[in-house]
């Protein structure tokens, strides 16, 4: 323990002296000044203590425990009878007691810094790191003493180095006071490192902000000078440079809009005049006015009412799609008779690549409308539909208002692409924002948050597209008229490829029919062996691949006309990607073929069942969804209820495990369509009666064995036909749906209608 000494005490407020600091104090109280004079006659030492809070009487409790043992370097008497004292803080000292009578003398214990507990290598690393931090901070902050760096590099004492860095860093007194109270060297070092690191981060952010502000100011000044220079050049050329205000007013005079709109724009122009030219607020206001002037408030295009011409255009651009074409022509006929521009919101639902987006463009062409596409795939922010409020930085109109501005008329055809892909998050519900857009009773006064003036959408013809009806939010679904665009048959793909895609790819790749010819056989083989899809995108890619290879061959070998046939197709597309799948038509026990609908068309599912000795457990594999699992359990319950009919032992289900599996386990599967298929496969596996390999089936099953209707029948029957199965079991209640399927798909197919599992087993099991 160090020797306790009694010293004159200077009490300071809002200040802290770290060892190494040199400061000047003005002393008013004579008693303190007298004590300092006596101290300078002796060894010149005084104690500087920081006061916690103002108090009538100074006690030990009103002072911070650790203060500064300081040396009086100079004391001067001032004209107002106060004293100026220059102090040099030398080391920390702890207050032991305070003179209660005056509070200007204190018994203190000087504190020495013990560095022996720190390893030599660690100490050197700590010294280097804190020096580096100070050097980095001094490079970022102007006004920090660069001459201190030399002293830091020469100092070998860690405690002195820590104090020196903080003494020479501009910090609030509270921070320095907190460091002064730390007597443990490691604690003091850690605190200093934290302080310096924080100051470096603050300095960096401050520099970035200063640069950004400077760039903005520089750009504003540059724009101002350029604008003035441009006006000067116009004057030199004899042109009269109109003021920005006058240009905007001229545009307003030309604008075809109602009085409410013009009054609003006039008000905004007057506001712009009062703002400082070149400022950020003026720039925002100018952009807003320009947006309002670009909106097609009362501009409308003249639509084509010629139904014959519209039919010609639709037939020219698309093969098939009879339902869609028929509905568009009906719409045109009604609108021609009523004279009203609005109409129902049409939603085209179907697999990818079936021409939903392109037919919307053809509809616009047929009706002579401006075409605007708004992509909704992945849109999460409600502001992308309704626009941002102008209070936000970077605000802009929503996609609907932007689409109208892009079209330039108030009655375009607006395609809302991928409406089933909209989603919601904390920024709002996008699908709810679309409700007002797609409601003919509300959209005549649609309000975009940025525009701020009601926009009339009643004359816009909205066409939406989606891959799956189940993914469209129900309130949106109810506001639209659904038209299904189903999968193409092989024959339809052939005609689309021959009549549309070949010419399109020839033009895209710079070829003519004199240079390249693709035979019908080659085209059919591409469809059967190189593509497997509901639409025709992959078919178009394969034709493009042939064209590219042919273009290279023409330039390299100059062979004259190239003819691609089914025999040499492999030279252009490589080996066949798909073999025409043919169903295993042999009768097998425990295996039944089902039919499934997928977003890219129909598919066949071969459901397998194994019976093994066990404890009556049921295992379902193959990535089945909840609905499919429930169908399997319902089918199993039905079989157990009719076990006696098939002479199944009463204890069979307690002594055997049943495993139901659908191959392609990595692909998720769900839906009610496989109910009767799974029940048939299980019954076959239990009774050892084979299932006919020439049959495919689809339908949901109930606990009592009724067969319920399902959807997607066109795709399912097409899938069966593609694999060579021509006999399909379909729920009886789906009979009207089958009759709507084209004769081309039904040709050669035997459709068997079933209403109960008794009828299913009678047709499917080979007894």
Catalytic residue positions, numbered: 673, 716
720 within 8 A of 745, measured Cβ to Cβ: no
Q: Which residue do the tokens 């720190």 mark?
A: 118
Q: Residue 582, by phi and psi: left (phi above 0), alpha (psi -120 to 50) or beta?
A: beta
Rounded CA-CA distance 399/420 in Å is 17
Three state DSSP letters for 550-607: HHHHHHHHCCCCEEECCCCCHHHHCCCCCCCCCCCCCCECCEEEEEEEECCEEEEEEE
- Of 695, 752, 736, 742, the residue nearest 714 (C-alpha): 742
- Residue 330 CA, chain-centre distance (Å), reads 39
763 within 8 A of 752, measured Cβ to Cβ: yes
Please give the radius of gyration of the chain, using alpha carbons only, rounded to the nearest integer. Answer: 43
Tokens of 705: 């064995």
Sign of CA pseudo-dihedral 723, 727, 729, 734: positive
All residues at 6 or more sequence positions from 331 whose CB lies less than 8 Å from its CB, including other chains: 343, 344, 346
All residues at 6 or more sequence positions from 127 whose CB lies less than 8 Å from its CB, including other chains: 155, 156, 158, 161
Tokens of 629: 């699992």
- Of 255, 261, 262, 289, the residue nearest 275 (C-alpha): 289
Angle at 441 between CA 440 and CA 443, to 5 degrees: 60
Tell me the CA distances in angstroms from 664 to 618, 661, 694, one per residue in order: 20, 9, 22
Q: Quick count: other Cβ atoms within 10 Å of Cβ 559? A: 10
Q: Strands, DSSP E only, in 157-279?
A: none
If DSSP codes are grouped into helix, strand and coil, which group holds residue 287?
A: helix
Q: Which residue do the tokens 């011409």 mark?
A: 309
Long-range contacts of 128-135 (CB under 8 A, 24+ apart): 129/193, 130/161, 130/162, 130/165, 130/189, 130/192, 130/193, 130/196, 131/161, 131/165, 133/165, 133/193, 133/196, 133/197, 133/200, 134/165, 134/168, 134/169, 134/196
Tell me the CA distances in angstroms from 498 to 20, 152, 518, 533, 766, one per residue in order: 92, 84, 9, 17, 44
Q: Strands, DSSP E only, in 64-160?
A: 66-77, 83-98, 105-110
Sign of CA pseudo-dihedral 114, 116, 117, 122: positive
């Amino acid at each position: 323990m160090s020797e306790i000494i009694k010293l004159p005490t200077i009490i300071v407020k809002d200040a802290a002296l770290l060892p190494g600091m040199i400061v000047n104090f003005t002393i008013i109280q004579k008693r303190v000044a007298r004590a300092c004079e006596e101290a300078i006659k002796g060894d010149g030492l005084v104690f500087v203590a920081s006061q916690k809070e103002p108090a009538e009487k100074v006690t030990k409790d009103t002072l911070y425990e650790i203060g500064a043992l300081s040396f009086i370097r100079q004391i001067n008497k001032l004209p107002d009878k106060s004293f100026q004292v220059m102090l040099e803080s030398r080391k920390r000292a702890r207050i032991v007691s305070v003179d209660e009578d005056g509070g200007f003398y204190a018994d203190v214990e000087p504190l020495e810094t013990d560095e022996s507990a720190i390893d030599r290598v660690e100490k050197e690393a700590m010294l280097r790191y804190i020096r580096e931090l100070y050097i980095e901070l001094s490079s970022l902050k102007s006004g920090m003493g660069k001459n201190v760096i030399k002293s830091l590099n020469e100092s070998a004492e860690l405690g002195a180095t820590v104090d020196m860095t903080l003494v020479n860093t501009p910090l609030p007194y509270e921070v320095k006071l907190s460091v002064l109270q730390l007597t443990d060297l490691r604690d003091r070092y850690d605190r200093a490192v934290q302080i310096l690191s924080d100051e470096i981060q603050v300095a960096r952010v401050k520099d970035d902000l200063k640069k950004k502000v400077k760039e903005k100011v520089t750009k504003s000044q540059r724009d101002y000078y350029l604008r003035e220079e441009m006006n000067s050049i116009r004057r030199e050329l004899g042109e009269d440079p109109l003021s920005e205000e006058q240009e905007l007013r001229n545009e307003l005079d030309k604008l075809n809009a109602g009085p409410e709109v013009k009054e609003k724009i006039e008000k905004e122009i007057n506001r712009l005049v009062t703002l400082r030219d070149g400022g950020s607020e003026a720039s925002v206001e100018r952009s807003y006015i320009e947006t309002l002037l670009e909106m097609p408030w009362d501009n409308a295009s003249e639509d084509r009412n010629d139904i014959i011409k519209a039919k010609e255009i639709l037939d020219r651009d698309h093969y098939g799609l009879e339902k869609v074409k028929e509905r568009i022509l009906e719409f045109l006929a009604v609108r021609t008779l009523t004279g009203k521009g609005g109409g129902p919101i049409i939603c085209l639902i179907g697999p990818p690549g079936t021409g939903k987006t392109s037919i919307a463009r053809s509809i616009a062409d047929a009706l002579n409308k401006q075409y605007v596409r708004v992509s909704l795939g992945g849109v999460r922010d409600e502001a992308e539909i309704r626009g941002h409020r102008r209070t936000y930085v970077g605000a802009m109109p929503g996609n609907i208002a932007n689409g109208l501005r892009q079209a330039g008329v108030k009655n375009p055809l607006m395609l809302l692409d991928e409406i089933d892909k909209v989603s919601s998050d904390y920024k709002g519900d996008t699908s709810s924002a679309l409700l007002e857009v797609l409601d003919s009773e509300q959209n005549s006064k649609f309000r975009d948050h940025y525009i701020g003036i009601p926009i009339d959408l009643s004359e816009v013809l909205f066409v939406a597209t989606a891959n799956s009806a189940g993914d469209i939010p129900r309130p949106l679904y109810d506001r639209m008229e659904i038209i299904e665009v189903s999968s193409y048959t092989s024959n339809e793909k052939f005609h689309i490829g021959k009549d549309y895609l070949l010419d399109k790819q020839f033009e895209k790749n710079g070829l003519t029919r004199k240079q390249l010819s693709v035979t019908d056989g080659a085209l059919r083989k591409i469809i059967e062996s190189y593509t497997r899809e509901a639409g025709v995108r992959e078919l178009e890619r394969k034709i493009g691949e042939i064209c590219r290879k042919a273009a290279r061959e023409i330039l390299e070998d100059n062979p004259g006309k190239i003819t691609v046939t089914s025999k040499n197709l492999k030279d252009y597309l490589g080996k066949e990607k798909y073999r025409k799948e043919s169903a295993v038509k042999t009768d097998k026990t425990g295996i039944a073929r089902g039919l499934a609908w997928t977003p890219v068309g129909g598919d066949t599912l071969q459901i397998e069942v194994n019976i093994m000795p066990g404890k009556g457990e049921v295992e379902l594999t193959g990535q089945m969804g909840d609905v499919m699992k429930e169908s399997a359990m319902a089918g199993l319950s039905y079989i157990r209820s009719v076990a006696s009919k098939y002479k199944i032992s009463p204890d069979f289900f307690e002594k055997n495990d049943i495993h139901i599996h659908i191959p392609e386990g990595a692909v998720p599967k769900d839906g009610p369509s496989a109910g009767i298929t799974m029940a048939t496969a299980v019954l076959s596996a239990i009774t050892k009666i084979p299932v006919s390999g020439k049959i495919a089936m689809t339908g949901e099953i109930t606990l009592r064995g009724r067969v319920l209707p399902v959807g997607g029948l066109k795709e399912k029957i097409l899938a069966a036909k593609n694999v060579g199965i021509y006999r399909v079991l379909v729920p009886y209640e789906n009979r009207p749906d089958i009759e709507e399927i084209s004769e081309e798909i039904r040709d050669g197919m035997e459709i068997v209608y079933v209403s109960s599992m008794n009828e299913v087993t009678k047709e499917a099991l080979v007894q």
